[in-house]
Amino acid sequence: MEREEIKTYLPHRDPMLLVDSIVVETETAADGTKSQYAIATYHVRGDEYFLQGHFPDYPVVPGVILCEMMAQSCALLLGDEIKHKRPLYTGIDNVRFKNQVRPGDTIVIRSSITDRRQTIVFAKSEAKVDGKLCCRGNLSFALI
């Protein structure tokens, strides 16, 4: 799925739409249990608003923006259920930042839903550049 189709699912718009493409896949565990995960990408062009002051002489994608990219990836796993709803953060837990993300990098985000309680969704996600872990964490959000 590319940006135009992503816009039919997420309420985010430029400059806050932070997923360029996404593929949802299913894996089967040894016990036969199936689970879905998303692989999303975002290419950092260098002209994004969040790089203008972070930092002018050495632009680095802010950690909070990486978390937002991961959250959007998680929300897209809900498919049609997310349409016409707003996913709002309820928690960001155990987030760790391991490497910088800079202009020219393509971020690959792998996300999966770990639990649900009514309108609250729990997920885990990690962001990598060139196979190197940049950020990982557990996220939760409410569907409003």
Contact call for residues 71 and 17 (beta carbons, < 8 A): no
Structure-derived torsion over alpha carbons of residues 22, 25, 29, 33, reported in degrees to the nearest 10: 110
12 is catalytic: no
CATH top-level class of 3-143: alpha beta
- φ, ψ of residue 73 in degrees (nearest 5): -60, -45
* pLDDT per residue of the chain (144 residues) written in tens, 0 to 9: 999 999 999 999 999 999 999 999 998 988 988 889 999 999 999 999 999 999 999 999 999 999 999 999 999 999 999 998 999 999 999 999 999 999 999 999 999 999 999 999 999 999 999 999 999 999 999 999
Q: What is the pTM of this model?
A: 0.94
Tell me which of 12, 43, 54, 84 is the catalytic residue.
Answer: 54
What token pair was written down for 71?
């959250």
